[in-house]
Structure 1
């Protein structure tokens, strides 16, 4: 009989190791994988658009879903595309391709395909050949064109192609909370699934290409806790999140709240803007809880494990339904070809 894995088995209980890993990932946001200004200009009619980019992300999701690969591979691919197009070019070839991709939808699409092709090789246990990728693209591009674009992309990025994803950062944040609270496995599963869902939505949105991955991740976790929890749970877990914000070099509260509002808009597009953050976990109103937690942990810079280290105990089951992550099949993408200004392969 096959045993079902508990959701928390995907989280680490070694808080010291998680803290070190999170610090390292956030350090890379300021060094190897710096966040640059946006590369699209909505007032320039000759440029590709954020909607073009979103359609290509949807297509990439369709490919990895069809091949039963991880959607994080798409996040890694788009991070490479965004960084390549926004950073100063390190060669004449990279500068030429960057300029062409920003004004030629076909080149922008080829760049994205090459990034996905490369990301699969880096992040997955299996690799798809360039010839197979050409078949997936219905021969819109040859295997040689995909390989040539991949070389230009990697050279332009100085072969830095393993940036942390928002989902990875989000799991680290949840791992740091894990020893503090004792809540049902179904609750942890819901928190993890919803965080994954929101970080996948963020990949589609050009706005988040200009934000740090840690900002996207923290905003997603805050929103999930706010949307799925009781008032007591919001206050308790929210207080831990506020402590984590102060212990690590996250963006300020204003930046995190802006990201939270944007994620809310993506997840609930029919919600009025003035209602989006109603009943939110305020990032400024938790000082009393923060001071209480700090005092209880004054002897250690990391959360202590064990029942004594839990500040809250709950055994009630969560009565919320699971939300299924969005997916787009290759057939769905193909059916939209005629309605899209961007040529899909």
Structure 2
């Protein structure tokens, strides 16, 4: 077989570029469809064990101290973020950690064996260890060892206990440890953003700003059990993007570009702005953002006035490099 050595004409080159774009969009659509299928089949939402704990904990002060409620879960979540920030791992590892932990705790409760707070702490350590093993090396090319996690627990949990709990979690989850996360959905959905529709400002900067702010909202969603446990990641991701875009003024993000973006998303995922699940999730995210900002708990939110001018505070996702709080809670 012979090949022509003639250089392609500009027209052919343009056609090739369009073909490549069509192929890329097709692959993106396939990936999103696969993730949507996964969240319905392999990784469906599970019952919120923290709400059931809050119900049962009204009996006595002792039971309130013993059960795992939303407050206790949030403390564990904060601890996990502290660890991954300190050791410079991706914050996506926390999404995986809490996914494993939530599914395992829900499974245990469904079997009539709700986790005690100490067992929940052990499961949290094992879940983080599992998530970080999948994550691989950190930004410095280093691996977090199980002995380091033992040190973080200050002797509360041994290597053997952590490894045993890791096996129990894998068995309970049936080795399904690659769930689609809200951050992953955001990463793929943002590729549908019509950058070609923005001419007056840097389109890539606008797109990246929406991406970073959306990721920030997705990290907030991990804190709230009613979202992280019961809501689909695709709904959370879509809501995060909508909340991020509402912080951008119409000059920076023209209405027709916004609508074209949402139309592209709806065409592939069937996600729509008027869905009740989306409305409720957006409301929860706004309330959570407001509460955390007011409490000044270390997850700063950008000024809405800045966002309306099309500027983005990338420090929202910058993590403070401080020593993580010990999971045992002892100082």
Please confirm whether the aligned pair reaches a TM-score higher than 0.5, indicating the same fold: yes
Q: How far 1:87 sits from its partner (Å)?
A: 4.1
Q: Structure 1 runs of 4+ off > 3 angstroms?
A: 178-183, 249-252, 317-323, 326-334, 342-345
Structure 1 pair 266–85 and aligned structure 2 pair: CA distance change class (3 A): same
> Which residue of 2 is the match for residue 333 of structure 1?
325
Structure 1 pair 187–243 and aligned structure 2 pair: CA distance change class (3 A): closer
User: Could you say what the CA RMSD is over the residues aligned between the two structures, in angstroms?
Assistant: 2.9
How many angstroms apart in 2 are the aligned matches of 1:214 and 1:122? 22
How many angstroms apart in 2 are the aligned matches of 1:319 and 1:148? 48
Q: Does the 8 A contact of 1:18 with 1:172 survive in 2?
A: yes
Q: Deviation digits for residues 178-227 of structure 1, max 9, x if unmatched?
A: 45534512212211111111111111111112100001100000000111
1:143 aligned to 159, 169, 173, which one? 159
1:78 aligned to 69, 84, 98, which one? 98
Q: How far 1:136 sits from its partner (Å)?
A: 2.1
> Which residue of 1 is the match for residue 119 of structure 2?
107
How many angstroms apart in 2 are the aligned matches of 1:124 and 1:163? 17
Q: How far 1:123 sits from its partner (Å)?
A: 2.1
Matched, 1:36 2:46: yes
How many angstroms apart in 2 are the aligned matches of 1:332 and 1:43? 31
How many angstroms apart in 2 are the aligned matches of 1:266 and 1:145? 35
> Which residue of 2 is the match for residue 200 of structure 1?
219
Q: Could you say which structure has the greater relative contact order, defined with CA pairs below 8 angstroms and 6 or more residues apart? A: 1
Unpaired segments ≥5 residues, structure 2: 1-19, 58-62, 295-308
> Which residue of 2 is the match for residue 165 of structure 1?
181
TM-score by length of 1: 0.72
How many angstroms apart in 1 are the aligned matches of 2:317 and 2:75? 17
Q: Does the 8 A contact of 2:93 with 2:132 survive in 1?
A: yes
How many angstroms apart in 2 are the aligned matches of 1:243 and 1:344? 50
Structure 1 pair 212–319 and aligned structure 2 pair: CA distance change class (3 A): closer
Structure 1 pair 55–328 and aligned structure 2 pair: CA distance change class (3 A): farther
> Which residue of 2 is the match for residue 65 of structure 1?
85
Q: Does the 8 A contact of 1:114 with 1:147 survive in 2?
A: yes
TM-score by length of 2: 0.75
Q: Does the 8 A contact of 1:111 with 1:150 survive in 2?
A: yes
How many angstroms apart in 1 are the aligned matches of 2:187 and 2:81? 21
Q: Does the 8 A contact of 1:195 with 1:221 survive in 2?
A: yes
How many angstroms apart in 1 are the aligned matches of 2:211 and 2:107? 32
Structure 1 pair 113–330 and aligned structure 2 pair: CA distance change class (3 A): farther
Matched, 1:245 2:266: yes
